[in-house]
Amino acid sequence: MQRLPTLTRARAPLTRAIDVVDEFGERGTASIPAERPLTVYVDKRELVTLMTLGAHPEWLVLGYLRNQRLVGSVDEVESITVDWDVGVAAVKTRTGIERIEERTAKRVVTTGCGQGSVFGDLMDEIDTIRLPAATLTQAQLYGIVNAIRLQESTYKSAGSVHGCALFRGEEMLLFVEDVGRHNAIDTIAGWMWLQEPLMDGGDKVFYTTGRLTSEMVIKSAQMGVPIVVSRSGITQMGHEVAGKLGLCTVGRATNRRFLCYTGVERLVLQPALAGTRP
Domain residues of the chain, as ranges?
Answer: 6-122, 136-274
CATH topology for 136-274 is Cytidine Deaminase; domain 2 (3.40.140)
Q: Which residues contact 266 (CB under 8 A, 6 or more apart)?
A: 134, 135, 136, 226, 227, 248
Candidate from 29-38, 46-55, 242-251 with smallest mean pLDDT: 29-38
212 neighbors 234 (Cβ within 8 angstroms): yes
Residue 103's pLDDT band (cuts 50, 70, 90): confident
How many Cα atoms occupy the beta-carbon half-sphere of 128 within 13 Å?
7
**Band of residue 123 on the pLDDT scale cut at 50, 70, 90:** low
Question: CA 170, CA 71: separation in Å to the nearest integer?
Answer: 31
How much is the average pLDDT of 223-234?
93
Render the burial of 206-222: b for 16+ CB within 10 Å, e for the rest.
bbbbbbbbbbbbbbbbb
Burial 241-262 (b: 16+ CB within 10 A, else e): bbeebbbbbbbebeeeebebbb
Average confidence (pLDDT) over 158-171: 87
DSSP 128-182: G--PPP--EEHHHHHHHHHHHHH---HHHHH-S-EEEEEEETTEEEEEEEESSHH
Average pLDDT over residues 147-175: 87
According to the model, what pLDDT value does residue 160 have? Answer: 67
pTM: 0.83
What pLDDT does residue 113 have? 46
Query: Omega of the bond prior to 197 within 30 degrees of 0, cis?
Result: yes
User: At 219, is the secondary structure helix, strand, or coil?
Assistant: helix
Share of the chain above pLDDT 70, in %: 91
β-partners of residue 176 are 164
Provide the pLDDT confidence category of residue 110 given band limits of 50, 70 and 90. very low
Domain 6-122 carries which CATH code? 3.10.20.10
Can you tell me the distance from the alpha carbon of 49 to that of 27, in angstroms, rounded to the nearest whole number?
36
